[in-house]
């Protein structure tokens, strides 16, 4: 007999039929009740074992973590908490799990402990729910763009370009590190390296994405990106997934409209498809926040927060306005910020972003027209000569979730900018070709996928929303 998924059994409309289920034992109570989970849903199915007619030897092997196959009759449950249960007529242990050694005990484990067991943590309710929501969100991303006729582009993972000009890259080489070939001047001879040049893992697919937008009109990427920033925070990963749409003929306003509509769509999609997982994550968050002082607890529950984002427009504020607000804010005057804001031109830290979103506006905020000095080389210079058409979207509890801009489409202005920043024209000759041949206004943005998953699941550490996190000093699994 083929096995049926637990999710389908629990949604079944016919009972008293013979069924088979396979999964992992979550708990086994009173030598009789197995809570069986197969990952298809957050819910377990209760399997009632006929312990009088089951050999003692078998009963002993029904332990937390064991894989079992149960055959029996699907019946309406008498007990509270579940609609159906399986009255087991035949039980087979597929894979034992030594209860003395299995790390995922049926009790509350700390998130730190679970991170050290990332290969097993997905067997818990919390991580099962997070990973199902993550999967649905990634499908929603494709759905959104495909429905709108965007072309999905796979930009390279190994590249010679530093798209952000920030230099936080992992080098890719096949040169022997203990015996590096040298040039006559004594430098490392990258001509002898695998690609005949210096290469790194991509920090962003944007530059390649732009070349495709300037042919296909509307494109998006969705792939892994890498940053060797040594920031050990709850918002940064060394390997994360980024979604980067790029649209020809869009200006910054159209870019903001697209980002807002896109984010609202994927959140709504997850709420429609994952009601049970989100309900579970909501109660988990509530429980977690009980241990915090009142002032640090969220005013809204998880689902209220998600609904709030769907129902309210993101507040659009210029960088200059934001600086005025921050300069006059209580934490700035009382020197509560780690970085005091006193001048126009200051780079915003996450404490400032969160103040604007969580304390001042109390809604998602899009900041635009940043000082050119603190943004990447490719952003379009405004007529004032000192700000660029950049936009960042800031989310409560997260800070920056999106970074984007209208691109500098004027060849001369772009080349001039690259010169002042010391970016060599020869390295980006192909990028500059988009400005040489049929250049036009275009815009795009990058959304950090894990930051979106953080927001939707109500988790607080980015290491908990990616299967196997890569962070400084950690590449286990
Ligand atoms: O703001 P960033 O650096 O922008 C870019 O890379 C542009 N090329 C995007 C574009 O215009 N096409 O990164 C974009 C987003 C951030 O807003 C953040 O959500 C996420 O990527 N991000 C990270 N997420 C996790 N860990 C990190 N280390 C991240 N760095 C950026
Ligand atoms: Mg950014």
Q: Which ligand is nearest to the CA of 402?
A: 1
Q: Say how far apart CA 350 and CA 342 lie, in whole Å.
A: 16
C-alpha 280 to ligand 1 mean position (Å): 29
What residue owns the CA closest to ligand 1's atom 9? 446
What residue owns the CA closest to ligand 1's atom 28? 236
Q: Which ligand is nearest to the CA of 348?
A: 2
C-alpha 259 to ligand 2 mean position (Å): 14
Q: Which ligand is nearest to the CA of 210?
A: 1
Burial class (CB in 10 A: 0-12, 13-18, 19+), 429: exposed
Question: Has residue 81 got a pLDDT over 90?
Answer: no
| Model pLDDT, residue 43 | 96
Q: Mean per-residue pLDDT for 244-250?
A: 98
Q: Which atom of ligand 1 is nearest to the CA of 451?
A: 19
Tokens for 173, please give them. 């080489």
Q: Which atom of ligand 1 is nearest to the CA of 402?
A: 17
C-alpha 299 to ligand 2 mean position (Å): 27
Give me the DSSP letters along 393-417.
Answer: EEETTTEEEEEEEEB---HHHHHHH
Tokens for 338, please give them. 């780690």
CA angle, 410 then 160 then 229, to 5°: 95
What residue owns the CA closest to ligand 1's atom 5? 446
Length of the chain (residues): 477
**457 in Cβ contact with 129 (< 8 Å):** yes
C-alpha 452 to ligand 1 mean position (Å): 12
What residue owns the CA closest to ligand 1's atom 2? 403
| Model pLDDT, residue 255 | 98
Question: Which residues form the pocket of ligand 1, taking CB atoms under 6 Å from any ligand atom?
Answer: 163-164, 204, 206, 227, 229, 236-237, 240, 242, 244, 400-405, 444-446, 448, 450-451
C-alpha 238 to ligand 1 mean position (Å): 11
What pLDDT digit, counting tens, does each position of 169-211 carry? Answer: 999 999 999 999 999 999 999 999 999 999 999 999 999 999 9
- In Å, what is the CA distance from 218 to each residue of 260, 306, 436, 443? 17, 28, 20, 10
Q: Which of 451, 456, 459 to mutate to test the pocket of ligand 1 (most atoms within 8 A of CB)?
A: 451
C-alpha 269 to ligand 1 mean position (Å): 23
Q: Say how far apart CA 399 and CA 320 lie, in whole Å.
A: 18
Minimum mean pLDDT range among 259-268, 286-295, 362-371? 286-295
**168 in Cβ contact with 228 (< 8 Å):** yes
**Domains along the sequence of the chain with CATH:** 6-106 (2.40.50.140), 123-168+203-464 (3.30.930.10)
What pLDDT digit, counting tens, does each position of 359-384 carry? Answer: 999 999 999 999 999 999 999 999 99
Q: Say how far apart CA 345 and CA 186 lie, in whole Å.
A: 40
**263 in Cβ contact with 393 (< 8 Å):** yes
Give me the DSSP letters along 315-343.
Answer: EEEEHHHHHHHHHTSHHHHTT-SSS---S
C-alpha 113 to ligand 2 mean position (Å): 31
Give the start-end residues of each E strand in 144-215.
Answer: 151-152, 158-159, 171-172, 199-201
Q: Which ligand is nearest to the CA of 163?
A: 1
C-alpha 448 to ligand 2 mean position (Å): 10
C-alpha 390 to ligand 2 mean position (Å): 10
Q: Which of 305, 168, 299 is CA-nearest to residue 227?
A: 168
As a whole number of Å, the CA-based R_g of the chain is 27
What pLDDT digit, counting tens, does each position of 394-428 carry? Answer: 999 999 999 999 999 999 999 999 999 999 999 99
Regarding pTM above 0.75, the answer is: yes
| Model pLDDT, residue 161 | 85
Q: Say how far apart CA 3 and CA 293 lie, in whole Å.
A: 47
| Model pLDDT, residue 299 | 85
What is the 3-state composition of the chain as percent helix, strand, coil, each rounded to the nearest 5?
35, 25, 40
**156 in Cβ contact with 223 (< 8 Å):** no
Q: Which atom of ligand 1 is nearest to the CA of 207?
A: 8
- In Å, what is the CA distance from 326 to each residue of 194, 364, 447, 464? 49, 16, 25, 31
Tokens for 77, please give them. 């449950």
Question: Has residue 77 got a pLDDT over 90?
Answer: no
Q: Which atom of ligand 1 is nearest to the CA of 231?
A: 28
Q: Which atom of ligand 1 is nearest to the CA of 405?
A: 11
Judged by DSSP in three states, 176 sits in: coil
| Model pLDDT, residue 82 | 79
Tokens for 375, please give them. 């943004």
């Amino acid at each position: 007999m083929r096995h049926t998924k637990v999710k389908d059994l629990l949604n079944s409309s016919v009972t008293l039929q013979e069924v088979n289920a396979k999964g992992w034992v979550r708990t086994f109570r009173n030598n009789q009740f197995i809570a069986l989970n197969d990952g298809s849903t957050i819910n377990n199915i209760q399997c009632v074992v006929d312990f009088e007619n089951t050999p003692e030897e078998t009963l002993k092997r029904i332990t937390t973590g064991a894989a079992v196959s149960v055959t029996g009759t699907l019946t309406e449950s008498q007990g509270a908490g579940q609609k159906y249960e399986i009255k087991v007529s035949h039980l087979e242990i597929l894979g034992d799990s030594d209860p003395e050694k299995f790390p995922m005990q049926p009790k509350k484990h700390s998130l730190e402990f679970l991170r050290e067991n990332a290969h097993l943590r997905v067997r818990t309710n919390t991580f099962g729910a997070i990973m199902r929501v993550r999967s649905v969100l990634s499908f929603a991303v494709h759905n959104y763009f495909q429905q709108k006729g965007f072309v999905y582009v796979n930009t390279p993972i190994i590249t010679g370009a530093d798209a952000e000009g920030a230099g936080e890259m992992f080098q890719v080489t096949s040169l022997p590190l203990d015996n590096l070939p040298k040039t006559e001047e004594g430098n490392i001879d990258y001509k002898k390296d695998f690609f005949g040049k210096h290469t790194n893992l991509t920090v962003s697919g944007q530059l390649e994405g732009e070349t495709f937008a300037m042919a296909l009109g509307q494109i998006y990427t969705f792939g892994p990106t890498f940053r060797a920033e040594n920031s050990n925070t709850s918002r940064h990963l060394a390997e994360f997934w980024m979604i980067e749409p790029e649209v020809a003929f869009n200006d910054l306003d159209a870019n903001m409209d697209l980002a807002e509509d896109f984010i609202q769509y994927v959140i709504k999609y997850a709420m429609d498809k994952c009601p049970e997982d989100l309900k579970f994550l909501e109660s988990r968050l509530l429980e977690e926040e009980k241990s915090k002082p009142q002032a640090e607890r969220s005013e809204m529950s998880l689902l209220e927060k998600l609904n709030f984002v769907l129902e309210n427009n993101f507040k659009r504020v210029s960088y200059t306005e934001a600086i005025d607000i921050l300069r006059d804010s209580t934490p700035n005057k009382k020197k509560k910020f780690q970085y005091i804001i006193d001048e126009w031109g200051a780079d915003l830290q996450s404490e400032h972003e969160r103040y604007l979103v969580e304390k001042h506006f109390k809604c998602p905020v899009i900041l635009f027209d940043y000082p050119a000095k603190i943004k990447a080389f490719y952003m379009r210079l405004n007529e004032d000569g000192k700000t660029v058409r950049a936009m960042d979207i800031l989310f409560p509890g997260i800070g920056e979730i999106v970074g984007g801009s209208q691109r500098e489409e004027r060849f001369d202005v772009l080349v001039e900018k690259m010169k002042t920043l010391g970016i060599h024209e020869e390295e980006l000759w192909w990028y500059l070709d988009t400005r040489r041949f049929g250049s036009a206004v275009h815009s795009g943005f990058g959304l950090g996928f894990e930051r979106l998953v953080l927001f939707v699941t109500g988790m607080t550490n980015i290491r908990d929303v990616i299967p196997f996190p890569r962070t400084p000093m950690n590449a286990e699994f």
